[in-house]
Structure 1
Amino acid sequence: METTSRAEPQDASGGQAAPQQQGQGVPGARRAVEGYLMAGFPWYGLDDAFTGPRWLMQVGVAADGAVEHGSTGHGDEPSLRGELGEEEQRFAVVVTVASRPVRRSPDGTGVLEATSVSSAAWLAGSGLLSCTWPTQMERALRQDWLEQQTAIAWELADDLDGGSWTGLSLPVDGVPTDFHYRESEYGWVLAGSTHRDVHIGVYGRGMSAYGLGFAVVKDIESYA
């Protein structure tokens, strides 16, 4: 998806946050919330059955300035800095993607393909890679590994009816909803659509996907 990130704190892979273009001196959490408040669609997260920590990641913005997607986190914030080993990390990240039939290209001269469940699957798959790549790998090999795995994630997202995915029914706003589901050595990924005209992708590690439920976030500021 051709979007840029806006108003996010430091990302899960340890990269630097996006430069501040407005609101110099505003805390990162406040900037992140403001990005989410700009969206014209509801955000999703885990439902009230989850009682652990909740936090924000980032929003993706289209060429016309519209917010297209963003992620809400639950559990341990994924880290590659060694605070927690990969085996100890327990988290689930819910990616909400606005349903947009027509999207402008970044240069404003054309249109991009519509967002879909595949868009949500791709964002979830790439998000999982960003926080689970093997830290013990030599630096010279990391980029090659990431590019290879990213290409595989894209191909999988583009073939949701293929043998790499299975079906899984989970509640969304209390309604049983069909998801595409797959596992890997790095974690798991889910992708599906909601009755509110948005798509959701989910990725996690250390938490079972089978017992999760999803609901509209009533107060996005509670995640800050």
Structure 2
Amino acid sequence: METTDRVGAQASAAEGGPQAPSARRTVDGYLLAPFPWYGLDEAFTGPRRLLPVGMGADGTVEHGSIGHGDEPSVHNEPTDGSERFAVVVTVAANPVRRSPDGTGVLEATTVSSAAWLAGVGLLQCTWPGQMDHSLRDDWLEQQTETAWVLADDLDGSAWSTLSLPVDGEPTTFHYRESEFGWVLAGSTGEGVHLGAYGRGMSAYGLGFSMIKDIGAYA
């Protein structure tokens, strides 16, 4: 899935007072989406923020992410538990479709798409210990490919399943852990796939709900 923004890019939404132009543009991108957005349910009472949307080659909004808790920072070693965050990724469920110029088809978005975006998001705030700065780009490229291979095999041994509420309904998610955090992915009945990643917050206690007014983040 080609996008103009990486899901792991960081952007903070103002929580009161005047909003920066870049944050205003972020909200505008969410308002353009023809599908609903999801975040953690009301049981989570901490700070929330919008990350930049991902857009397809034809300019349509394809996915976006809502950050919860601490703003992730790059870690060069396994977390000590002091940082607590979860990011929820909403991906429009699209079938295989024609490209804008009519010369080919665009890849369908599936649960694997959500799993890959969540995996890449976690990688963006990860840095293996003892790695030289100059080698991180190579490591990130390699691990991004590995994240896709894993996402393409959700029934494989790297994944387990757990049931979490989505709008109050039990929903099955694919789930995996690493030394740097956790990743999960599933689907809703509202035409979107959900991914999530985080560390310091247990995935087993999370619940998700549709955001009634994404414009309120402005």
Q: Which has the higher contact order (CA 8 A, sep 6+)?
A: 2
- Which stretches in structure 2 are left out of the alignment for 5+ residues? 12-18
Q: Could you say which residue in structure 2 is the equivalent of 1:93?
A: 87
Q: Could you say which residue in structure 1 is the equivalent of 2:14?
A: none
Q: Map Cα deviations across residues 146-201 of structure 1 (whole Å, 9 max, x no partner).
A: 12211111100000000000010000000000000000011000100001010000
Q: Could you say which residue in structure 1 is the equivalent of 2:138?
A: 144
State the AA in 1 paired with 2:9. Answer: D
Matches within 5 A, 1:109-188: 109-134=103-128, 137-188=131-182
CA distance in 2, matches of 1:74, 1:213: 12
Q: TM-score, normalised by structure 2?
A: 0.88
Q: TM-score, normalised by structure 1?
A: 0.86
1:37 pairs with 2:31: yes
Aligned length: 209
Provide the secondary structure at the position in 1 that maps to 2:162: strand
CA distance in 1, matches of 2:3, 2:86: 22
Of 190, 198, 211, the residue aligned with 1:217 is 211
RMSD: 2.5
Preserved CA contact (<8 Å) 1:92 1:204: yes
CA distance in 2, matches of 1:35, 1:135: 36
Percent identity of paired positions between Structure 1 and Structure 2: 72
Structure 1 residues 103, 110: closer, same or farther in 2, change over 3 A?
same
- Which stretches in structure 1 are left out of the alignment for 5+ residues? 15-24
